[in-house]
Chain A
């Protein structure tokens, strides 16, 4: 019976039904299913479908947001258990929109998709000064710092963040994204990766972490 519930949970995540997502999650927990399994076999497959449909222009921002909200409803039940049981997340990412830029829709969607993929997300918000990224990275030891910018005038600020992070000698990969960001720009500023959109961000983040594991 629980097996069906995992599939159902995926379906309601895709449909964006937060009330039912929370209810099914609770049922699974009551049936003593492990939180990690609910995340891996209920939420993640659902969010993967959402990501794929978004990438293929079958669904758009509103649909992604309702799915993310449903996932959040479920995660709020799972998170306390996951953190208590010391289960290793996919990775940790520190996210923020760079200094001078106050746009957050893109960054928020990235954050939601990352959570859906099992990442621990530390969101520093908008207009984040470079020092704040460095300070947080030092404290939280994330695998990745994700930088967002919408404006052509603020994208240059990404370079400053990268320089400061490198100077601080932190072992962290830097992923950049946002409307004006291109692959060429990413190379010019020395970022480790470039994400075209929110689902791409998840894929790139996974790649960076896997590459890191191989080398270490």
Chain B
């Protein structure tokens, strides 16, 4: 069994990292530019963020490859550099990984819709994920974080692709918003459906990431926990952005996330971290919390 799953089974709670995108922007990524290109053109920036998260106490950091599928990279004209960008992102992380720490290959949605709603066939999407994951595996990642999924079908294809190219553990998380019907993805998937479908597809770890802050994350995880004994991963956004003097500021500070983080842990979350708007300072606080328990 993989070291990560082994530790989770023993009851360890692992700390993942915080945001990549908003950190890259702080360090000079232009709006609209391709974040994954920096793995090759500005590796020191990407590695700086990796290092900051390890220093803050992350057990697992994620590669800068959220938009690393062919479909996403094509928006920047980089459709032929999938392997190069993904492999580089993984290698940069693996090269500075301390002992007993892990690198997760981040796999985000293609942003495209699958037939018959959209124009892409299942086979094409499957191959897009396989292409990206192959490169992440070559780069040496320890686990895959398939994340921010909204359509169950796409999440299932990503899991299937992962299984077809490697034996690494697979985490798959979806993004929910709490509305009148309770938590649902934009595609209408409930936490219960997510648990059932992702489990059937073969994910080892399930959960939720991104979304509208830690209050909603609590509702989502509470719901998921009812339907599964599997390890759960929770990475909430640092609240919602507020626009203050020309800049978007997320409204959950490192200190303010702690009560909800404590509750998430009480619900049996096995991997905790944060998403958009969070920083190494948020992760440091979570490390202190975990160490105090």
Contact = CB atoms under 8 A, between A and B. Distances in A.
Interface in B14-35: 22, 25, 30-32
A62 B243 contact: no
B22 A152 contact: yes
A10 to B, nearest CB: 22
A60 B188 contact: yes
A152 B186 CA distance: 19
A60 B184 contact: yes
Interface in B235-293: 240-243, 246-248, 250, 276-277
Nearest to A126: B75
Do most interface residues of chain B lie in helix, strand or loop, or is the interface mixed?
loop
Nearest to B276: A152
Interface in A1-60: 56-60
Do most interface residues of chain A lie in helix, strand or loop, or is the interface mixed?
loop
A57 B243 contact: no
A182 interface: yes
B124 interface: no
B32 A57 contact: no
A65 B243 contact: no
Given A102-B32, A102-B75, A127-B32, A57 B25 contact: no
A184 B25 contact: no
Contact of B248 (A59, A62, A100, A155): A155
Contact of B188 (A61, A99, A155, A157): A61
Given A65-B117, A100-B30, A152-B241, A57 B184 contact: yes
A86 B248 CA distance: 45
B181 interface: yes
Contacts of B113: 65
Contacts of B247: 156
Interface in B196-245: 240-243
A72 to B, nearest CB: 13
A62 B153 CA distance: 12
B187 A151 contact: no
B32 A152 contact: no
A184 B181 CA distance: 26
Nearest to A106: B186
A167 interface: no
Nearest to A154: B31
A61 B187 contact: yes
B32 A154 contact: yes
Contact of B117 (A66, A156, A185, A188): A66
Interface string A100-139: 1111010000000000000000000001000000000000
Contacts of B248: 152-153, 155-156, 180
Contact of A184 (B111, B243, B277): B243
B181 A100 contact: no
A156 B32 contact: no
Interface of A: 56-63, 65-66, 99-103, 105, 127, 151-157, 180, 182, 184-185, 188
Interface of B: 22, 25, 30-32, 75, 111, 113, 117, 150-151, 179-181, 184-188, 240-243, 246-248, 250, 276-277
